[in-house]
Structure 1
Amino acid sequence: MSSNADSNGAPAPSGTHGHGAFSLSFFRQPLAVYAVAFACVIAFMGLGLVDPILPAISKQLHATPSQVELLFSSYNLVTGLAMVITGAVSSRIGFKPTLLTGLLIIVIFSALGGSSHSIAEIVWFRAGWGLGNALFIATALAVIVGVASGGTAGAIILYEAALGLGISVGPLLGGELGSISWRGPFYGVSTLMALAFILVSVLLKKVPRATRRSSVMEPFRALRHKGLLTMGITAFLYNFGFFTLLAYTPFVLNMDAHHLGYVFFGWGVALAVTSVFVAPSLRVRFGTRATLYGVLGLIALDLFVMGLGLSSIPLLVVCVIAAGALLGINNTVITTAVMDVSPFERPIASAAYSFVRFMGGAIAPWLSGKLAVWFNPHVPFYVGAFGVSLAVLTLIIGRRQLANV
């Protein structure tokens, strides 16, 4: 990447995965960094938090699986759309106001979700949650880097650790609270985010401002770059597999919220471990494209096996956890590739890529539920596997545009 600017002008980290830097600076951060990191953990919980309660919501609110899976669709759709405007917002009102606005929106809409009396209400409130999540997540990394002391390396690893912890703990907390009531996870997030709002308000003092004002149109113009567009389409197709697994699998596992929480906790732990500790090594050893070819091929195979072995619960559980390990590798490698493939600043490239990929995450959950009704329960997994296979084909076709990755 030709620019060394991070989100909206904050300096981008270089060599942030060095173990020496990690040991020196990981624990030497101001309280403000830990306050934002804590909020990141809660924000990243939102991805898998509702997973264990999907069947319970379906049963108690008399909703079909495709209707309940709209909780993911609305969340991803609004998150993707909002990603486009986050740079323009934060460069005008500042990083801290953007961060706090995102937190406040999550507090309000997660609480409203827990107070809902129909599936339509929850779907709309999850959409609002997605808006808050986009504003917060798109700004959090820039804030952590901007206020970090002792070098940025430790701060970036702290951010990655928060991401992994949130993704892994989300389903576990969702399962525990969901075993009491499906409303529990919504109220839990609202409470924790309110605490994060207070901590960030009090502890976050001086935050560097953006060096320039961003335009809403910049991410769309960036998509004219064939390499960045290739990565976006790849992620769009890959998300058909990702969110088929995440949104549809709870309905075929036939477990209560408590046990579903443990299954997807295993999925999240595997994802977190491989994203931080395995992906960088594979990328160095085999290269970005070869790693993506192999991992995406294995994800497609894993989904295909799930479609074939739908009657075996132990097989499905093993495949879910194995998918987590593969998804962790893919997420890290493909995100790194996005940052390297184009000459645009990191926030612009990230916003453009996120806009395209979240559209796949919006369509897949709803479609998987419909496919199960239109055909049979096996078909969603086959379609997910097909989508991931097309992602591999997209990378192969666009390989010339990825020569510098």
Structure 2
Amino acid sequence: MTRTESRIDHSSRQATDDTTSERAAAQPRLITLILLSALAVLPVNMILPSLPKISAAFHADFALVNLSVAGFSIVTAFLEAIGGAISDRFGRRPVVLTALATFIVASIGCVLAPTIGVFLLCRMMQACIGPCYSVALVIIKETSDERRAASKFGYLAMGWALAPMVGPLFGGSLDELFGWRASFVALAIFGIAAFLLSLRELKVSKAPASAGRGNYLASYTLLLRSARFWAYTLCMACSMGVLYIFLGGAPLTVSDALGGSSAKLGFYMGLVPAGFILGSYLAGRYGARIPLGTILVIARLLTCIGLSIGLALSLSGMTEVLALFGPCIFVGIGNGLTMPAANSGAMSVRSDIVGTAAGLAAAMRISGGALIGSISGLFIARSPTIHMLFALMLASAVFALVAALWAAILDRHLSKPS
């Protein structure tokens, strides 16, 4: 090898090493992203136990106060759609820091609110924290290959699922000890901690070159024209639809089997989030080894099999509690496996607008699942039976399976050499 070739080879290796080191340095710790994603969903239902006291404190109708939960979810879905696109244009760090700063101010505003109107306004402002979950997904996607990203998404989803489980318990305990405002004080403190942590660990990164020149509508159009994006997103929406049907229908259809005990109902309904955490762990453990399409199909088959067993048991007249709730564990396991893989697939459609894809997919997942849950609620209200609940969940699960098969077929065609 000549001296010139040696110099060129050395320079090439050094450039590669510098790029790798720069990429590693720009990657925050996974635990930071898990905490960020958990904080994005913790405020959703942490205040549920405090709603009656909030209603009494402001002398407001309970239905109006309940907007602090339903309205929060609607605003979150909207902000998810635009938050990712903004992060494509201005970078991930500014979006996260702005969202956290707004969240802190809004949380303090909820504590100090003199009227129900001001309280609800500040509560809606708290929804600015929502896009932090999508941005956390994007950061992982940009610093990992596709399969490793799906694996890390699994661990991220564990924190995302655990927060809503412990949120009501934590919020209720604070309410019991210090009053309803204590929950918002705690959220403000969490927000400050997350802000300082993000300020330290999220490095300044350049937005994609094409993002600055394009416009948001064009980015959405590119994604909505992609069959792969639709396949992954519909799979997530229908999978969330199964969960929403269960959450809305179980109290109405299964309460009698539990003797009307709310405590027992809450315990057994917790089996689904527990299954989600297990599924997310499995996705984190094996997501880097198995193709995304295969994971999706396996996940949706598990859910369909579990719900088919539940439907068969309910039609046979089985009224044992575990016979009713046991099959529903597969809803959680299936969704825990589905979300990391489907998110990774949706964000791989266009490498130049990853943030837009993450935000739009999240918005479609939330709104699509809520729509399915609402429509199913009409059927359950007319026929509040256990087998109706299982039949509706199974129908949504089958649509999710079809979307998963579609995604797997599209991925296989894409991977074939042309």
Give 1:177's aligned residue: 171
- Taking only aligned residues, the RMSD between alpha carbons, in angstroms, comes to 5.0
SS in 2 for 1:210: coil
Structure number with greater Rg is 2
Give 2:206's aligned residue: 209
Inter-CA distance 82–257: structure 2 relative to 1 (3 Å threshold): farther
Inter-CA distance 188–304: structure 2 relative to 1 (3 Å threshold): farther
SS in 1 for 2:216: coil
Give 1:161's aligned residue: 155
- Provide the C-alpha distance between the structure 1 equivalents of 2:363 and 2:295, rounded to a whole number of angstroms: 22
The amino acid that maps onto 1:137 is Y
> Displacement of 1:395 after TM fit?
4.7
- Provide the C-alpha distance between the structure 2 equivalents of 1:162 and 1:377, rounded to a whole number of angstroms: 36
- Map residues 23-38 of structure 1 onto 2, 5 A cutoff: 35-38=32-35
- Provide the C-alpha distance between the structure 2 equivalents of 1:282 and 1:153, rounded to a whole number of angstroms: 7
- Provide the C-alpha distance between the structure 1 equivalents of 2:121 and 2:382, rounded to a whole number of angstroms: 25
- Map residues 103-182 of structure 1 onto 2, 5 A cutoff: 103-109=100-106, 127-134=124-131, 136-143=132-139, 160-178=154-172, 181=175
1:297 and 2:291 matched = no
- Provide the C-alpha distance between the structure 2 equivalents of 1:238 and 1:349, rounded to a whole number of angstroms: 18
1:39 and 2:36 matched = yes
Give 1:237's aligned residue: 238
Q: Report the TM-score, using the length of structure 1 for normalisation.
A: 0.68
Inter-CA distance 128–310: structure 2 relative to 1 (3 Å threshold): farther
Give 1:79's aligned residue: 76
- Provide the C-alpha distance between the structure 2 equivalents of 1:228 and 1:298, rounded to a whole number of angstroms: 26
Q: Which moved more, 1:180-189 or 1:84-93?
A: 180-189
Q: Is the 8 A contact 1:338 1:349 kept in 2?
A: yes
- Pick aligned residue for 2:281 from 252, 276, 280: 276
> Displacement of 1:331 after TM fit?
1.9
- Map residues 209-358 of structure 1 onto 2, 5 A cutoff: 209-212=206-209, 213=212, 215-217=215-217, 218-249=219-250, 256=262, 260=266, 263=268, 266-278=271-283, 280=287, 283=290, 287-288=294-295, 290-298=297-305, 300-301=307-308, 304=311, 313-339=321-347, 345-358=353-366
Q: Is the 8 A contact 2:251 2:265 kept in 1?
A: no
SS in 2 for 1:208: coil
- Pick aligned residue for 2:96 from 93, 99, 110: 99
> Displacement of 1:99 after TM fit?
0.5
- Deviation string for 1:76-117 (max 9, x for gaps)? 443333233224422444432210222234345566678899
Q: Greater share of helix residues, 1 or 2?
A: 2
The amino acid that maps onto 1:223 is L
> Displacement of 1:173 after TM fit?
3.8
> Displacement of 1:216 after TM fit?
1.3
Unaligned segments of structure 1, at least 5 residues = 1-24
Inter-CA distance 311–296: structure 2 relative to 1 (3 Å threshold): closer
The amino acid that maps onto 1:168 is L
> Displacement of 1:321 after TM fit?
3.7
The amino acid that maps onto 1:273 is L
Inter-CA distance 49–318: structure 2 relative to 1 (3 Å threshold): farther
Inter-CA distance 396–43: structure 2 relative to 1 (3 Å threshold): closer
> Displacement of 1:281 after TM fit?
8.0
- Deviation string for 1:33-68 (max 9, x for gaps)? 755543333224356656x7499799998868xx96
The amino acid that maps onto 2:337 is I
- Provide the C-alpha distance between the structure 2 equivalents of 1:118 and 1:316, rounded to a whole number of angstroms: 44
SS in 2 for 1:403: helix
- Provide the C-alpha distance between the structure 2 equivalents of 1:348 and 1:340, rounded to a whole number of angstroms: 11
The amino acid that maps onto 2:204 is V
SS in 2 for 1:287: helix
Inter-CA distance 46–243: structure 2 relative to 1 (3 Å threshold): farther
Q: Is the 8 A contact 1:71 1:126 kept in 2?
A: yes
Give 2:12's aligned residue: none
Percentage of identical aligned residues:
15
Q: Is the 8 A contact 2:346 2:358 kept in 1?
A: yes
- Provide the C-alpha distance between the structure 2 equivalents of 1:286 and 1:303, rounded to a whole number of angstroms: 26
Inter-CA distance 74–209: structure 2 relative to 1 (3 Å threshold): same
- Provide the C-alpha distance between the structure 2 equivalents of 1:344 and 1:365, rounded to a whole number of angstroms: 33
> Displacement of 1:272 after TM fit?
2.4
